[in-house]
Homo-oligomer: A and B are copies of this chain.
């Protein structure tokens, strides 16, 4: 994997780049739609490519490991072939899901024993076997196993947790370097920087991760309950340490405003379930603000869903029609909203790139943060 910085903003820490993977190029800053269990919920891969303009999607190791399972994924020749997606894929390590979804998890130095949220079966994730699993999935970018403490974690717990994450990281790196890709194409390994909301822990974590000289670095454990300002501060602390010439991925973030603030602080990659999950609940993100499509106020509004939208649904369907679909619990509502929201998120990062390249990012971002946060 190779990363080239193409533009660096002079007013902020924003940058544009190009990430070259075995499955093609990804221009950064980029948003990665979340394809939890081998599908970005409600969206055909064709539409992800042609309507949304997605350049890379995310898969969840925890979910894929449980369903369809490694045997099927290996027989298929990896997740790309299994799901018919020929562009890059990044997989998380499963750590976050083990802590948020599974029952009876138990953390040890060795790894994490957990019970499946589906059938209660018992499993063990270790820093080594999550690398093996992601080798079988065939992700272009593989993530290290980490512990992701809650946003409210006390300093002592956060420090102890970080120690474990760092020892796991070293084991993961070692195992990754001792193993080979299964399908002939190159995979990259990203450490995850933890440390909760404590600047000294974050700084130490970033220094430790940077010392391992990988192709890119992730910032984990943010947007887990802490105030946004604290998240922004942690991003600044971490990005001051991480090598400038490598991509930085802020995990699980976030709102359009979060993306813009992250980009301004030098983040290159984002993922979040928000555009699809909130979309399924009737929330639309647009360049003019946020709309709740279940609201009665749209019942008689026959104007297009989003005049500035980039996907075909935006001008095909009206607000009144979409509101009717949500009021009637019709699945087409979720499909339209998911496609629209992902289209908007990808539009937002493309616009950010274009303004960074033109040296006009800071003013555009200030204006856009105001617009996207309005409730309309």
Interface of A is mostly: helix
Instruction: For A77, give the chain B residue with the smallest CB separation.
Output: B302
Contact partner of A41 among B68, B302, B317, B332, CB < 8 A? B332
Q: Which residue of B lies closest to A37 (CB)?
A: B328
- 0/1 per residue, A321-362, Cβ < 8 Å to B? 100110110111011100000000000000000000000000
> Does A108 count as interface, using CB distance less than 8 angstroms?
no
Q: Are A42 and B327 in contact (CB under 8 A)?
A: no
Is B82 a contact of A328 with CB atoms below 8 Å? no
A366 within 8 A of B: no
On whether the beta carbons of A325 and B44 are closer than 8 Å, the reply is no
Is A288 part of the contact surface with B, judged by Cβ < 8 Å? no
Interface pair B45/A316, CB less than 8 Å apart: yes
Over the window 93-135 of chain A, the binary record of Cβ atoms lying under 8 Å from chain B Cβ atoms (1 yes, 0 no) is 0000000000000000000000000000000000000000000
Q: Which of B45, B68, B320, B336 contacts A320 (CB 8 A)?
A: B68
Contacts of A312 in B (CB 8 A): 46
CB-CB nearest in chain B for A312 = B46
Interface residues of A in 41-87 (CB under 8 A from B): 41-46, 67-68, 71-72, 75-76, 81-84
> Are the CB atoms of A41 and B330 closer together than 8 Å?
yes
| CB contact under 8 A between A327 and B68, given known A46-B316, A75-B302, A76-B302 | yes
Give A193 to B42 CA distance when docked, in angstroms. 41
Decide: A300 and B75 in contact? CB cutoff 8 A: yes
Q: Are A44 and B75 also in contact (CB < 8 A) when A38-B324, A82-B321, A324-B68 are?
A: no
A39 within 8 A of B: yes
Partner of A324 from the list B72, B299, B302 (CB cut-off 8 Å) is B72
- Is the beta-carbon distance between B68 and A332 smaller than 8 angstroms? no
Q: Is residue A169 contacting chain B, with contact meaning CB distance below 8 A?
A: no
Bin chain A's interface residue count.
35 or more
Check A300/B72 contact, CB under 8 A, given A41-B330, A43-B332, A332-B42.
Answer: yes
What is the CA–CA distance of A37 and B325 in the complex, to the nearest angstrom? 8
**Which residues of chain A from 202 to 216 have any CB-CB distance to chain B below 8 Å in the complex?**
none
Question: Which residues of B sit under 8 angstroms from A44, Cβ to Cβ?
Answer: 313, 332, 335-336
Check if A318 is an interface residue, CB within 8 A of chain B: yes
Q: Is the CB of B42 within 8 A of A331?
A: yes
- Bound complex: CA A44 to CA B316 (Å): 10
Within 8 A of B (CB), among A235-260: none
Q: Could you tell me if B41 and A72 are in contact, using CB atoms closer than 8 angstroms?
A: no
Please state if A39 and B320 are interface contacts (CB–CB under 8 Å).
no
In whole angstroms, how far apart are the Cα atoms of A130 and B67 in the complex?
49
State whether A321 and B42 are in contact (beta carbons under 8 Å apart), knowing that A300-B75, A328-B37, A335-B335 are contacts in the complex: no
Minimum CB–CB distance from A86 to chain B (whole Å) comes to: 11
> How far apart sit A299 and B67, CA to CA, in the bound complex (Å)?
11
